[in-house]
Amino acid sequence: MDKRKPGEYIREELSKRKWSQRELAHIIGRPYQMVNELIQGKRAILPDMAIALATAFRTSPDIWMQREYEYQLAKASTDSAPIKRRCKLFELAPIKEMERRQWIRPTNKVDELEAELCKFFEINSIDDTPTIGAATRKSDNGNELTSSQCAWCFRVKQIAKSKSVAKYDENIIKSCFSSLRKIAAYPQEIYKVPNVLESIGIRFVIVEPLQSCKVDGVAIWLDDSSPVIGMSCRYDRIDSFWFTLCHELSHIRHRDESPLDSDLSNKSIDSIMTIKSVMERRANEEAADMLIPKEELESFIKRIGPLYSKDAIIQFAHRMKIHPGIIVGQLQNREEIGYKANREMLSKVKKYITSFATTDGWGNSIKLN
């Protein structure tokens, strides 16, 4: 990059023509002081001056603007290393939102920020890739977690580590299915979920999603005997909550690790099954079956469909001893009814579960050592 002052080129042009600075000032109709300041580099060449110089020296205005640009850029050059480091840090995580949520300590110092992120993501250097063994329900079909999704998962893991629960026994996990199934009939009973899970050694954590973080649930293992289920309650609906919970329980039951699967809230089961792995299809099918046995739902569809009245759904729900909103959700996923149908049955549950579960978000921040 040219570090010469544009004024040096003006001197060269004057020397070629044996003109003085005063003569140039007279030719271009500018004050002598202005010309002198241009030559000394005390004044920048603006577009009107570039045109005047180009006319006087029979050159192009672009040449003078380019010389001024390169000189100013060279003069303003600075060490870009700190900028590159900050850029890498901000690519790694949604820093400002993590600071706002008190997940990391706010700081303007690059070294301190890097140390905070390394601690949060359990890595030695920002050049390392954060890894987390997880089976995560997410809404896009990408194979990798976004920075926000990764941060959310690590927050779940971080909080789960601080919890004390019973020893995990995978031989009795099936027994919790029936206990949970009884709770699924009433929205107000959902507060019992954490106790049921933690009584058999499954840590349960709710973390409000970060902005643009399309994750509903995650199943991770702190070690071989410490499973964790994290949920976001992104959709405050009874059907979404229970399907997500049962989906993650399936991953825990089979000790699945690291698949990504799409949210089922706005897509049909058939369309999702075509792109999901065997592991994810199994989790979807087991989640649906935990709530409503497949043969029972299909029998109901054959008998009642396609005219699903509110009364018919409620009667079926009473027979299945489950909330009618869960039936509505499964009918929507099977595209038996539209997504606008019977939405009044999709009861909200977030207020019940977040009042009792370990919850980070919605104005509540968990302080960790």
pLDDT tens per residue across span 205-262: 999 999 888 899 999 999 889 999 999 999 999 999 999 999 999 999 988 875 434 3
- Residues 58 and 96 both lie in one domain: no
- Of 48, 75, 102, which residue constitutes the final position of a domain? 75
Whether residue 208 is contained in a domain is answered as yes
- Residues 94 and 61 both lie in one domain: no
- Residues 243 and 124 both lie in one domain: yes
Whether residue 1 is contained in a domain is answered as no
Whether residue 267 is contained in a domain is answered as yes
Whether residue 80 is contained in a domain is answered as no
- Residues 260 and 224 both lie in one domain: yes
- Residues 114 and 34 both lie in one domain: no
Name the more confident of 95 and 143: 95
pTM comes to 0.80
Percent of the chain whose predicted confidence (pLDDT) is above 70: 91
- Of 75, 99, 132, which residue constitutes the final position of a domain? 75
How many structural domains compose the chain?
2
> Which tens digit of pLDDT belongs to each residue from 281-295?
888 999 999 999 999
Assign residue 12 the CATH number of its domain.
1.10.260.40
- Residues 69 and 159 both lie in one domain: no
- Residues 44 and 142 both lie in one domain: no
What's the CA gap between 112 and 118, in Å, rounded? 10
Instruction: Name the pLDDT band for 82 (thresholds 50, 70, 90).
Output: confident
Whether residue 108 is contained in a domain is answered as yes
What does each C-alpha distance from 48 to 19, 272, 316, 363 come to in angstroms? Answer: 21, 62, 82, 57
pLDDT of residue 268: 46
φ/ψ of residue 116, rounded to 5 = -60, -45
Stretch 8-14: mean pLDDT: 95
> Which tens digit of pLDDT belongs to each residue from 105-117?
999 999 999 999 9
> Which tens digit of pLDDT belongs to each residue from 152-192?
999 999 999 999 999 998 888 888 888 999 999 999 999 99
Q: Mean of the per-residue pLDDT values for the chain?
A: 88
Whether residue 83 is contained in a domain is answered as no
- Residues 61 and 134 both lie in one domain: no
Beta-bridge partner residues of 203: 228
- Residues 178 and 65 both lie in one domain: no
Range of the domain at 158: 89-360
What's the CA gap between 129 and 144, in Å, rounded? 12
Whether residue 367 is contained in a domain is answered as no
What's the CA gap between 80 and 61, in Å, rounded? 31
pLDDT of residue 138: 62
Amino acid at 113: L
Identify the DSSP state of 344.
Answer: G
Instruction: Name the pLDDT band for 272 (thresholds 50, 70, 90).
Output: very low
Question: Where are the alpha helices (H) located in the chain, listed in sequence order?
Answer: 6-17, 21-28, 32-40, 47-57, 61-75, 81-92, 95-100, 110-121, 147-161, 173-183, 193-198, 238-253, 269-273, 278-291, 294-304, 310-320, 324-333, 350-354
Tokens of 211: 């902005």
Decide if pLDDT at 264 tops 50: no
- Residues 229 and 295 both lie in one domain: yes
Instruction: Name the pLDDT band for 127 (thresholds 50, 70, 90).
Output: confident
pLDDT of residue 234: 92
- Of 53, 75, 97, which residue constitutes the final position of a domain? 75
- Residues 106 and 167 both lie in one domain: yes
Whether residue 144 is contained in a domain is answered as yes
- Residues 63 and 179 both lie in one domain: no
Instruction: Name the pLDDT band for 143 (thresholds 50, 70, 90).
Output: low
Q: Which residues contact 151 (CB under 8 A, 6 or more apart)?
A: 93, 94, 98, 103, 120, 121, 210, 213
pLDDT of residue 80: 79
What's the CA gap between 219 and 230, in Å, rounded? 7
